[in-house]
Structure 1
Amino acid sequence: MEFRQLKYFLAVAKEANFTRAAERMHISQPGISAQIRQLEKDLGATLIDRSGRSAALTAVGEVTLDHARSVLAAVESLRHAVDEVNGLVRGRLVVGMVTACTVTPLFDALAGFHLAHPGVEISLVEDDSSRLVEQVRAGSLDLALIGAAGQPPEDLDGWQVISERIVAAVPPGHPLAERDRITLAELSTYPIICLPRGTGIRAVLDQACAALGLDPTVALQASAPGTVLTLAERGLGVAVLSESMVASYEGLRTVALGDADIPAVLALISAPTKSPALRELLVRCRQAFTGPQPDGLVPVDGAETGQATAG
């Protein structure tokens, strides 16, 4: 008895016709007939009644039908289990992250996964958040750490890691330096230095201003938050970044934006279909981000945890 014979038998039972079953299984009609006869010979019983215009199951055939389904389902389950194991032994994962930042928990998760599953190749891609989202949608990225305005994309699986407000930052002596809080309308009267479009921080600024009918002037933009802060320190404009990005920069004063209510979020996103390796990596990422992290996320250029929301 062979598994293919059971598959042919199920096809004939479903179609009640040898010719249609043969077409369904991409085999010749004589070929499928010969395989069914061999199955009947192996079992010592007639499974198909060929006396009528249709191929009807005999009483033994009816009993055999359920068993054949169970056997093939067990074989498929076995193959799936083996594939699950192989997926953690070999394969490839492509991970995306926002440009110009160091994300310690993500790196910890990648390192732990690599140690446990060295046969899985890991590639890391840097880009801005909007392009990372599209690459996850297209399937060219398995997982991405992105910045977004308000919430992660609803059509992708994801969970929020950080949520914080955007703020302004100015050097001592700036007209806003003695203010604790300003409005977006007041901010818009000054040249702004921010991250480029496609990043989470810029999306928050643009959406918040658009909701109030404001069209601020972004005089300068840079991909690295540290560069934005350095330019602002030199008096070239008002920096707009997340709270944590500005907090550790000693040369600037933080000014709250009272009506910028849309939060900048950092999120891990992935497509709904996940390989065994990706599922394992996601578990490690969740553990890394939600477990004790005394150092938090440590972006480059002196920025704090929120830098990753910029992408």
Structure 2
Amino acid sequence: MDTANLSAFLAVAETGSFSRAAEQLHLTQPAISKRVASLELQLGCRLFDRIGRHIGLTEAGLSLRPRALEIIDALEDARRALSNLSSVVQGRVAMATSHHIGLHRLPPVLREFTRTYPQVALDIQFLDSEVAYEKVLHGDIELAVITLAPTIESPIIAERIWNDPLDFVVAPDHPLARAETLSFAELGEYPAVFPGPNTFTRRIVSQLFSQEGVEPHISMSTNYMETIKMMVSIGLAWSVLPRTMLDSQVHSLRLPGTNLERQLGVIWHSGRTLSNAGRAFIRLLQRNAALDSLPR
């Protein structure tokens, strides 16, 4: 069975369009149609129903899709394993990172990696940590540098790289900014802006409030830390921000006995053979973590 035909089939199944599949695979639409038709002829069944402009998988197509994914994944894994027999670090690394980490943590790591391994092409997607986690889980990308989930389960492997302390913040002219210390109950009386309810950061903060028996008044939600900082700085709400983002635009609040932080790190799939380039990137992150832990 021709893997090029399987790849064309999977691209059409994913995009729901022959033209978009052609763009994804950098081919012409007739070439995609020919590959799918060849696969249908080889298997002796139709894989797609074409009704007007709508394209949907037939029962045979639905049955083939998970098997085709397994075949392509197995071949890619074999290719990486064979490529790893040489010690050359080259090729492509498909990875993801969150916008915050990509802006505030990764630039020096990426700069050193590209200088050290100029033959490696980095394919970086900027995604929410939760989306990146799912992409690693399903084998769509090799690794991700994200906010780690509170609990990590097999088959995902995670390694902490940075501790990321979080502070409660308001605008400098917010009524809460005048308080020397605050309770969770007092904080809960004012509007807050937070990342979405399914984000790892929101779960960490929600768990803390739940322990205190307080329900925060969350009036707005966005997953972009920079946007949250802007809304806090103009006085719309209070929030929680990484300490690395604090400056004169926001005022840090004191909640006695509170030590809030999240873990940032790298994840990969235990069932996937990492490329030499992927291993080299993880080693560089590990070295970065070791340097950060040294006394200053």
TM over 0.5, shorter chain:
yes
After alignment, is 209-218 or 135-144 more displaced?
209-218
Aligned partner of 2:267 in structure 1 is: 269
Q: 1:49-78: per-residue Cα shift (whole Å, max 9, x none)? A: xxxxxxxxxxxxxxxxxxxxxxxxxxxxxx
Aligned partner of 2:217 in structure 1 is: 217
Aligned partner of 1:256 in structure 2 is: 254
Q: Structure 1 length normalisation: TM-score?
A: 0.58
Structure 1 residue 190 displacement after superposition:
0.7
Change in 2 beyond 3 A, CA 1:268/1:103: farther
Q: 1:92-132: per-residue Cα shift (whole Å, max 9, x none)? A: 21111112554466344334444444444321011111111
Aligned counterparts of 2:113 and 2:165: Cα–Cα separation in 1: 32
Structure 1 residue 195 displacement after superposition:
2.5
AA aligned opposite 2:265? A
Aligned counterparts of 1:143 and 1:81: Cα–Cα separation in 2: 16
Aligned counterparts of 1:83 and 1:190: Cα–Cα separation in 2: 57
Aligned counterparts of 2:194 and 2:140: Cα–Cα separation in 1: 29
Q: Structure 2 length normalisation: TM-score?
A: 0.60
AA aligned opposite 1:157? I
After alignment, is 231-240 or 110-119 more displaced?
110-119
Aligned partner of 2:152 in structure 1 is: 153
Change in 2 beyond 3 A, CA 1:255/1:195: same
Structure 1 residue 170 displacement after superposition:
1.9
Aligned counterparts of 2:242 and 2:93: Cα–Cα separation in 1: 30
Aligned counterparts of 1:244 and 1:223: Cα–Cα separation in 2: 17
CA contact (8 A) 1:201 1:241 kept: no
Structure 1 residue 215 displacement after superposition:
2.4
Q: What is the SS of the residue equivalent to 2:175?
A: coil
What is the 5 A alignment of 1:101-180?
A: 101-103=101-103, 106-148=106-148, 151=150, 153-155=152-154, 156-180=156-180
Q: What is the SS of the residue equivalent to 2:177?
A: coil
Change in 2 beyond 3 A, CA 1:138/1:181: farther
What is the 5 A alignment of 1:60-139?
A: 83-86=83-86, 88=88, 90-103=90-103, 106-139=106-139
Structure 1 residue 255 displacement after superposition:
0.4
Q: What is the SS of the residue equivalent to 1:144?
A: strand
Aligned residue pairs, count: 213
Structure 1 residue 82 displacement after superposition:
6.0
Aligned partner of 2:189 in structure 1 is: 189
Change in 2 beyond 3 A, CA 1:124/1:204: same
Structure 1 residue 177 displacement after superposition:
1.2
Aligned counterparts of 1:94 and 1:240: Cα–Cα separation in 2: 31
AA aligned opposite 2:152? P
Aligned partner of 2:50 in structure 1 is: none
Q: 1:142-198: per-residue Cα shift (whole Å, max 9, x none)? A: 12111146x562433222223244322123343321223323222111100222334
What is the 5 A alignment of 1:10-21?
A: none
CA contact (8 A) 2:194 2:202 kept: yes
AA aligned opposite 1:291? L
Aligned counterparts of 2:217 and 2:104: Cα–Cα separation in 1: 34
Percent identity between the aligned chains?
23
Aligned counterparts of 1:162 and 1:113: Cα–Cα separation in 2: 18
Q: 1:211-247: per-residue Cα shift (whole Å, max 9, x none)? A: 334322211223332322222222211122233323x
2:280 equivalent to 1:280: yes
Aligned counterparts of 2:113 and 2:172: Cα–Cα separation in 1: 46
Structure 2 segments unaligned to the other structure (5+ residues): 1-78
CA contact (8 A) 2:194 2:220 kept: yes
Structure 1 segments unaligned to the other structure (5+ residues): 1-78, 294-311
Q: What is the SS of the residue equivalent to 1:214?
A: coil
AA aligned opposite 2:179? R
